[in-house]
Amino acid sequence: MLESSFFTETSMLSASHNNKQRQQRVILLLDLDCFYAQCECVRLGFDVTTTPLALLQFNSALAVTYPARTLFSQPIERGDGWEAVRDKSGGKCYAVHVPLLPVQGDTTNATTTSLAETLQEEYDSLYKLSKEQQEEARKRDLWVRRFAAEGKASIECYRIASAKIFETVHEFLETEKSQMDDTNVKIMLERASIDEFYLDVTDAVNKNDDYWNVRQDLLEENSILQTTHLVRPEGEESVPWNGDVFRRACWLAHQLRQYVRNTLSFTMSCGISVNKTLAKLSAGYGKPNGQALLLPEYVEYMLEQTQIRKCRNLGGKVGAAVQSLLPQDVPTTVASIAKYLSMPQLVEGFHGDEATARWVYDVARGIDPQPVVAKNTGALTKTVTTFKSFTACPVGDTTSWIELLARDIVTRIEKDAHRNNRYPRVCTIQYHPTVVIHANADRFDKRKLLYQNKSFRTSFPPQRLERDAKVRHLVHDIQSKLLQHCKESTSNIDRLGIAASDFITIASCLDLFVQRGVSGQDGENLSKKRKHVDLNLDCTVIGETITPKQKDEDADRILAEKLQADFDRENRLLQASERLQTLGKKKNKTKRIESFFVKKK
């Protein structure tokens, strides 16, 4: 079905996600250019805008600077191996390997074990090297090839750079907010990934007239167009600004990008539009080291140029499913979805999944109301993970890889605990068993068998243990349970991963227990229960002497955690049972620890 008028004023108001005063919504997507390769340029003292450099993991390029893509007759591309990089560039492109955690020994390229007091100290130790240190690092790291059997690639140094850039962006925003006449102005900052940040500057550009009036000369059209690419059809001359909000956003984006560049030497591109999806799509028009603006009037034009797989969240199975629904011989662009697929067709194509169908229907029209979630105090991940793929070998021969992964995650968790005052309770182990595929198996079954991972859970080592003891504890747990799951030590696996999760705040473990478990309880009854607790448990606090009172409190905490673990196991069984029942309203059968303490009346 062809929908002739699929972009309307109403849909664009929805795309803008206006509030009651119909403020024009303005979203920025900041994208660090070829981020991993750029980190190496900054570390080694190269200018990323002029230096051809490829960052490789074993024999495949992960990231390539823009000069490496344009300076040579054959552009260097992601996926190229060492020989290809050398041959295409005639040896003129620098090549460096991702930092490696060897099976035995210290890390290469950069340290990942520092417990520096501040993020600034750690960042400086990696990226603020002296000329002599940079020269030494170049001699040590350039054109040094690594192999998968040597160890595990580590991107910890890139996470540190990302955190520092996030902090620097936040500093800039706080400085600008302090100069605005409205002290309650809101600027939402969200980390989308290791190299992308979203900004909602709606409040800042719709208000604060005194702040903007003194900068009016900088908001002239000619000034803005010198720094900003306008996404629009060729031949268009006039610009439908519809006020100053987009000019203000362009100026703010340029100032922010310059601030990061001058402070940390990193370049970033920026997309500016009315929602997350359109901001991300427009960012591609500003690469590298530039910015692009997509006005509401040109949304239809851009979606006609955008392949479905290039659109945010349409690059995987959902995008493939949508393309299969389109008529043959029509462009596989986002605009084609709106032109040729109705809502009922999408619902049918997604087997009755109305939520997914509605999302695709809206995105095809440039509508994306998803808010920017403010994380101005820092973006903490819910899980810390480490993985390694290797040549298939028996489970009994994976000890060295298990030790490597265990030490990596324990070190990172210690650093996270030091910085963020939290510690994980749960550890998920994921592994990939190799399988013998029957010759008669169909393609679906083959793919399912080839890519099917298996997993199990265990507790993370107690925080009180020393690092080496934590590693031994984790290695023993993983080895014993892996053998149980694989039935025999001769079973082969070729991939292994560890994910730490279920973080709790270190300082408030006892407070959480008291607030949630003791509320409304009779003190005498609780005291009787506490008599059954072994008060000689080893619950040391780092740097402090244990008092009898502290032992009581730590014993309570351990009891609370043990009980919650028991309830969690019961919850998982209840949830598994519910999934087997027919669809409908599900009763909340989960238990929390307070149910242990609070009696039913």
> Which amino acid would we find at residue 327?
P
pLDDT at 441: 55
CATH of the domain at 458: 3.30.1490.100
CATH of the domain at 51: 3.40.1170.60
pLDDT digits (tens, 9 = 90+) for 93-119: 999 999 988 876 545 554 445 556 688
Q: Whole domain around residue 489: which residue ranges? A: 380-507
pLDDT digits (tens, 9 = 90+) for 442-485: 554 555 455 578 889 999 999 999 999 999 999 999 988 888 88
Q: Where are the alpha helices (DSSP H) in 298-392?
A: 299-305, 317-325, 334-340, 343-349, 354-363
Q: How far apart are CA 328 and CA 334, in angstroms?
A: 15
> Are both 133 and 46 inside the same structural domain?
yes
* 491 located within any domain: yes
> Are both 438 and 530 inside the same structural domain?
no
Residue ending a domain, among 96, 122, 151, is 151
- In contact, 180 and 148? CB cutoff 8 Å: no
Give me 563's structure tokens: 């009980």
pLDDT digits (tens, 9 = 90+) for 327-381: 988 999 999 999 999 999 999 999 888 999 999 999 999 999 999 987 644 457 7
Residue ending a domain, among 462, 477, 507, is 507
* 556 located within any domain: yes
Q: How far apart are CA 338 and CA 440, in angstroms?
A: 41
Q: How many domains does the chain have?
A: 3
> Are both 501 and 540 inside the same structural domain?
no
DSSP string, 83-122: HHHHHHHTT-SEEEEPPEEESSS--SSS------SSHHHH
Q: How far apart are CA 125 and CA 127, in angstroms?
A: 6
> Are both 451 and 570 inside the same structural domain?
no
pLDDT digits (tens, 9 = 90+) for 43-91: 999 999 999 999 999 999 999 999 999 999 999 999 999 999 999 999 9
pTM of the predicted model, to two decimals? 0.73
Task: Categorize the per-residue pLDDT at 506 as very low, low, confident or very high, splitting at 50, 70 and 90.
Answer: confident
